[in-house]
A and B are shown apart, each in its own frame.
Chain A
Amino acid sequence: MKRYNQSAVSMHSINYTYSSGKNQLASIATAGDIVSSAYQYDPVGNLKRDVAENVFTEWNLAGKVKQVRKYDIDIIFSYSPLGLRQSKQFSALSGNTKEWYIHDATGNIMCIYDSLSSNSIICKERPLYGSSRLGIDNKEIIIKSGNWGTLPDTNRFRGYCGYRNFELSNHLGNVLTTFSDRKWGMDDNSDGIVDYYNPVVTSYTDYYPFGYPMPDRNWSGTDYRFGFNGQEKDNEIYGEGKSYTAEFWQYDSRLGRRWNMDMVFTVSISRYGCFFNNPIAYIDPNGNYTRIGAWLRSLFNKDASKIYKSGKSWGFNVLTRGSDGKINGYVSRFGESYKNANSIIDVIYHSLTQIDHINITGNALDRIKKDPDMIRYQNEIVEEAKKIYAKNPTPINISKEPVLITFGGFTNSPLNLFDENTRNVASNELTWITRHSYVYANVEIQKDGTMNISYLLTDRLDLYPSSDRTFSYNAVCLITGAIYHGLLNGKASSITAKWNTTINIK
């Protein structure tokens, strides 16, 4: 990796060496202000030691950093049962601090307390939220000073100015600028009357790809906690903005590598790699799920609410606007895992928005019912039922084994677009929703000759290469899958369709 400074002079030139077969960074050889180093890992695969920087790390059983030691500093972390950082205790010759994090139910930091002395509890930072984080209120509030019973800080009931810092972030969530709630009154003509106001900028940062702060293009008047991808900085380890933490990783922005393995395994992607090696297009605010943030956010949520996670499901807020174009609320897509789809557009939309299960309904379901191969199968069932009923007209319930139905029509030359059948298949919506699918049928024949068939179709939106496909189709999958699953982050959602048909076979 190479970085150039503001004068276009080479600043970093880093050569990465990896352990054979493990994707673990064994060492880096550098020119510039990052020192060459070697790396050691524990048996789980978490970084144990950065040799040259003399950084030692310990990990807990949940894969979170428990302790970081470096020369004379010692940082101890603790975590809540949900895996969120609960405390950070920093010990150094220069002094000791201990911060306690309080989160809300969805994992947002509500307040950070500073409490080292047993006699005082101080709320030192309170992040401010709208549909996403807006900034931090840095006004310290003394919750407890001295013994309980002593009147706490009465000043907390006053209004303050100049303690709130609001953040401006770009499409990737990188905090570029923070500014205060104060404003500078500007008097251009020196008549003693304020002509206009300027904001008070409290910090600004430009980032290289992977988050390293650009020299001469960053400055901080306040120690703003969040930076690259909106994540929290751990400046004590390598310096300002060079190490980040999130719920699922400890991230080294100097190298663009994570200290621990990604828990979400993606075929052909190193579990120590970040942002699919494309930090311009992708974001990973929680450290476990790389997604094409810029594209999704601009398409679905122009007002920049972040995608967030609940359990195993991802969601986001879609802002709604009135007829005048003004925002009048938002619809939460939080935690949804099941959606109906009437068309291929719906299917793709739900897949891109990480819906787990998509149920085909409406026009798309009508097409499934009318598909020639589906009709052929239904005719087989009807003929069979007629024979059964003619032989013995008693009620019977048959839970049939599934058959594999080819939806969208037949062609013998799927890659030859000059073939008319191929063009018909390619233009059929069902080809792209569900080409080959298992269809289950439950048949109930009544005594009066009424037959009810309940169908269930199952499939998966899967373009990942597989050893079961041929080489040529895997080559196609590699391209389409990389675009759909990798670049656009389409989920391999499961597809189902359910419908009933009643026929009289008497």
Chain B
Amino acid sequence: MHKIIFLSILIMFFSCCGDKNKHVFKTNAEKDFYTDCGGMDYSRFPLIFPYEVMNADFVEKKWIINLKIGYEFYNSIYKVKDIAVSNNMIFAHSTTTNPVIEGRAPLQWFVIIPSKKIEIGFSTEMELLDYVKIFGISKISWKDVNDVSEEFKSSECLPWIPGCSK
């Protein structure tokens, strides 16, 4: 009986995300990035390497994207509510109301283009849509972060992850 319990625990320990995606990644870091679901005190899901959405507050669910370059005093996109990934671009909608600098409108709509090292935030969705028109995008299909997180945990795949697209 003890052996069964021990083996069950062992199986649970090693039954992390990452076994279902059979895509051959270039590096181990990239593979870990696209397959890791989080740890003891945080959950995550990948966007486009090296951008990820993380949450370390299981009670209030404060989803966050740490920016790599930063944009106008923003080093992160905090309280992310919706995200979208298309055309190798990441879109994020935050519900933050922190103006960062007093008197300024908070930036709630972000676009990240990893290949061009672009991270830009806007106060309104209209401004964001105006900007992305130059890339031929007229509409963004937003997805709730909690739904995306659930999808990644259950299927270990997201449409933008290499090896997952149908």
| Chain A interface residues (CB < 8 Å from chain B) | 377, 380-381, 384, 396-404, 412, 414-415, 435-438, 459-460, 462-464, 466, 468-473, 475-477, 479
Would you call B57 an interface residue if the criterion is a C-beta within 8 Å of the partner chain's C-beta atoms? yes
The answer to whether A399 touches B41 (Cβ under 8 A) is no
Instruction: A473 to B28: give the CA distance in the assembly, Å.
Output: 21
The answer to whether A402 touches B64 (Cβ under 8 A) is yes
Q: Point out the residue from B14, B78, B101 that lies within 8 Å of A472, measured CB to CB.
A: B14
Q: Which B residue sits closest to A462, measured CB to CB?
A: B58
Closest CB-CB distance, B5 to chain A, in whole Å?
11
| Chain A to chain B: the 4 pairs with minimum beta-carbon distance, closest first | A475-B12, A466-B58, A436-B56, A436-B42
Q: Point out the residue from A381, A403, A435, A459 that lies within 8 Å of B64, measured CB to CB.
A: A403
Q: Which A residue sits closest to B52, measured CB to CB?
A: A404
List of B residues within 8 angstroms of A466 by Cβ: 58
Interface string of B95-138 (1 = CB under 8 A from A): 01011111000000000000000000000000000000000000
Instruction: A399 to B54: give the CA distance in the assembly, Å.
Output: 21
Would you call B38 an interface residue if the criterion is a C-beta within 8 Å of the partner chain's C-beta atoms? yes
List of B residues within 8 angstroms of A381 by Cβ: 75
Interface string of B144-164 (1 = CB under 8 A from A): 000001000100000000000
Instruction: A466 to B9: give the CA distance in the assembly, Å.
Output: 18
Interface size class of B (residues with CB under 8 A): 35 or more
Q: Which of A400, A462, A466 has the most CB of B within 10 A?
A: A400
Instruction: A368 to B39: give the CA distance in the assembly, Å.
Output: 20
Given A397-B101, A404-B56, A438-B57, residue A468 in contact with residue B43 (CB < 8 A): yes
Q: Point out the residue from A403, A470, A473 that lies within 8 Å of B66, measured CB to CB.
A: A403
List of A residues within 8 angstroms of B99 by Cβ: 399
Q: Which B residue sits closest to A480, measured CB to CB?
A: B40
List of B residues within 8 angstroms of A470 by Cβ: 16-17, 37-38, 43, 153
Closest CB-CB distance, B67 to chain A, in whole Å?
8
Closest CB-CB distance, A388 to chain B, in whole Å?
8
The answer to whether B32 touches A401 (Cβ under 8 A) is no
Instruction: A380 to B98: give the CA distance in the assembly, Å.
Output: 20
Instruction: A468 to B148: give the CA distance in the assembly, Å.
Output: 12
Closest CB-CB distance, A289 to chain B, in whole Å?
20
The answer to whether A435 touches B40 (Cβ under 8 A) is yes
Instruction: A436 to B54: give the CA distance in the assembly, Å.
Output: 10
Q: List 24 A-B contacts (CB under 8 A).
A: A380-B70, A399-B100, A399-B101, A400-B73, A401-B76, A401-B98, A401-B100, A402-B76, A402-B78, A403-B66, A404-B54, A404-B64, A412-B29, A414-B39, A415-B14, A463-B40, A468-B58, A470-B16, A470-B17, A471-B15, A475-B12, A476-B13, A477-B40, A479-B9
List of A residues within 8 angstroms of B56 by Cβ: 404, 436-438, 459
The answer to whether B42 touches A435 (Cβ under 8 A) is yes
The answer to whether B75 touches A380 (Cβ under 8 A) is yes
Closest CB-CB distance, B127 to chain A, in whole Å?
18
The answer to whether A473 touches B15 (Cβ under 8 A) is no
Instruction: A437 to B78: give the CA distance in the assembly, Å.
Output: 13
The answer to whether A476 touches B40 (Cβ under 8 A) is yes
Would you call B59 an interface residue if the criterion is a C-beta within 8 Å of the partner chain's C-beta atoms? yes
Closest CB-CB distance, A409 to chain B, in whole Å?
13
List of B residues within 8 angstroms of A468 by Cβ: 38, 43, 55, 58, 61, 149
Would you call B20 an interface residue if the criterion is a C-beta within 8 Å of the partner chain's C-beta atoms? no
The answer to whether A438 touches B100 (Cβ under 8 A) is no
The answer to whether B13 touches A401 (Cβ under 8 A) is no
Given A412-B28, A468-B55, residue A401 in contact with residue B39 (CB < 8 A): no
Q: Which of A384, A403, A475, A477 has the most CB of B within 10 A?
A: A403
The answer to whether A472 touches B16 (Cβ under 8 A) is yes
List of B residues within 8 angstroms of A400 by Cβ: 73-75, 100
Closest CB-CB distance, B8 to chain A, in whole Å?
9
Q: Point out the residue from A397, A435, A463, A475 that lies within 8 Å of B39, measured CB to CB.
A: A435
